[in-house]
């Protein structure tokens, strides 16, 4: 992008984020592109919510989805409204988006700029942020915050009172840029997985509709979900996760795909871990899955290094910039060292009538 325009875009992004943080206009569930927020903290938050569901024996639907090309498909008028909410002036936004909508693209190489160019057809302006736009991350934060607050207003999410101070905590979405987890938990322990399936489908459809309204779409191939519920094992006197064959085996969660047609999402077992935010996570804690994932990374790195020829002064920079990052996610939750067996959680509480 033109350097002068890029400087303006970055300044607008910084001003929008600063105003949003100061006036609490950014959704708590959006952790991407924000100061003092890290992906590993969001992974820990998801683990803690799962622990609360386990302790309270509450059913929930957990939908992990990925938005397709968020920065490339965003609609300009939606962004203008979202960023005006963060005190960015109309004239400043017109400067940015009029430029993006009517810009001419050329390929720049070491031999000069290409003679051929690409520009929008007449009366059909571009509708994206532009590759490398310095305001791209703040743009998505401003738009996603509105969608998350829409989910809150619709009553979706998880609510719980803290054990010590009895303060109400809520969680609707866990977002890191375009990687999002949507949750719909039962209101009480008396609601079974069957009881909340309709609400879980509504939550998935509402989120997909919000993403579609902003110009994007959900990629079903990179999305999946868990239906969390518990059953009392009267023979062993323990609570256990209900498996797929025990809980609506024919139920499918459907969302509009990239073509607009309804597509079913993969439904996972409670102990089936998937990689989210760089960590292998599942409602039923399984550190072995993450250990296997880290070992596979280490073996692949070792094979690639072994087949190459390194100078001695390249070894330290190579280690610092590649394999040293494998420590990410190793201790993402303090619950790992507590010795809790989530698959067979013993309890002195009586079994619920619906699980007898």
- Angle ∠(178,272,59) on CA atoms, nearest 5: 80
pLDDT of residue 204: 93
- What average pLDDT does this structure show over 219-225? 90
Backbone angles phi, psi at 275, to 5 degrees: -80, 115
pLDDT of residue 249: 65
Judge whether residue 85 has pLDDT over 50: yes
pLDDT of residue 331: 59
Judge whether residue 215 has pLDDT over 60: yes
What are the boundaries of each domain within the chain?
A: 3-101+125-270
pTM of the model: 0.83
The model's pLDDT over 133-185, given as tens digits with 9 standing for 90+, comes to 889 899 999 999 999 999 999 999 999 988 888 899 889 899 998 889 999 99
How far is residue 192's CA from residue 194's CA, in Å, rounded to a whole number? 5
List own/partner pairs for 296-301 with CB under 8 A and 24 or more apart. Answer: 297/323, 297/326, 298/323, 298/326
pLDDT of residue 103: 82
Judge whether residue 22 has pLDDT over 90: yes
Which of 115-124, 260-269, 298-307, 314-323 is predicted with the least confidence, judged by mean pLDDT?
A: 115-124
Token pair listed for 327: 């420590």
pLDDT of residue 352: 39
pLDDT of residue 14: 95
- What average pLDDT does this structure show over 50-66? 92
């Amino acid at each position: 992008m033109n350097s002068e325009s890029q400087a303006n875009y970055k300044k607008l992004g910084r001003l929008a984020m600063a105003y949003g943080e100061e006036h609490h206009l950014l959704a708590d569930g959006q952790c991407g592109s924000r100061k003092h927020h890290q992906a590993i903290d969001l992974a820990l938050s998801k683990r803690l919510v799962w622990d609360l569901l386990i302790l309270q024996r509450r059913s929930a639907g957990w939908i992990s989805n990925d938005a397709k090309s968020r920065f490339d498909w965003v609609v300009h008028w939606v962004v203008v409204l979202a960023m005006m909410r963060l005190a960015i002036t109309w004239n400043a936004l017109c400067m940015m988006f009029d430029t993006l909508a009517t810009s001419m693209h050329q390929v720049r190489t070491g031999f000069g700029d290409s003679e051929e160019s690409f520009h929008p057809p007449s009366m059909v302006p571009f509708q994206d942020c532009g590759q490398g736009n310095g305001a791209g991350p703040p743009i998505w934060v401003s738009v996603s915050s509105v969608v998350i607050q829409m989910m809150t207003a619709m009553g979706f999410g998880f609510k719980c009172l803290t054990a010590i101070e009895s303060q109400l905590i809520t969680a609707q979405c866990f977002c890191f840029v375009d990687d999002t987890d949507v949750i719909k938990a039962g209101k009480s322990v008396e609601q079974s997985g069957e009881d909340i399936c309709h609400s879980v489908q509504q939550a998935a459809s509402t989120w997909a509709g919000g993403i579609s309204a902003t110009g994007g779409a959900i990629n079903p191939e990179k999305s999946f979900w868990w239906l969390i519920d518990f059953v009392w094992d009267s023979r062993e006197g323990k609570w256990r996760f209900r498996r797929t064959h025990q809980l609506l085996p024919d139920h499918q969660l459907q969302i509009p795909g990239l073509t607009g047609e309804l597509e079913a999402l993969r439904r996972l077992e409670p102990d089936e871990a998937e990689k989210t935010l760089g960590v292998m996570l599942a409602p039923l804690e399984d550190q072995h899955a993450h250990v296997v994932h880290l070992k596979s990374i280490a073996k692949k790195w070792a094979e690639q290094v072994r087949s190459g020829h390194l100078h001695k002064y390249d070894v330290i920079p190579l280690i610092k910039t590649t394999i040293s990052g494998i420590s990410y996610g190793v201790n993402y939750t303090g619950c790992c060292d507590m010795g809790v067996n989530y698959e067979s959680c013993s309890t002195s509480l009586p079994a619920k009538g619906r699980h007898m």
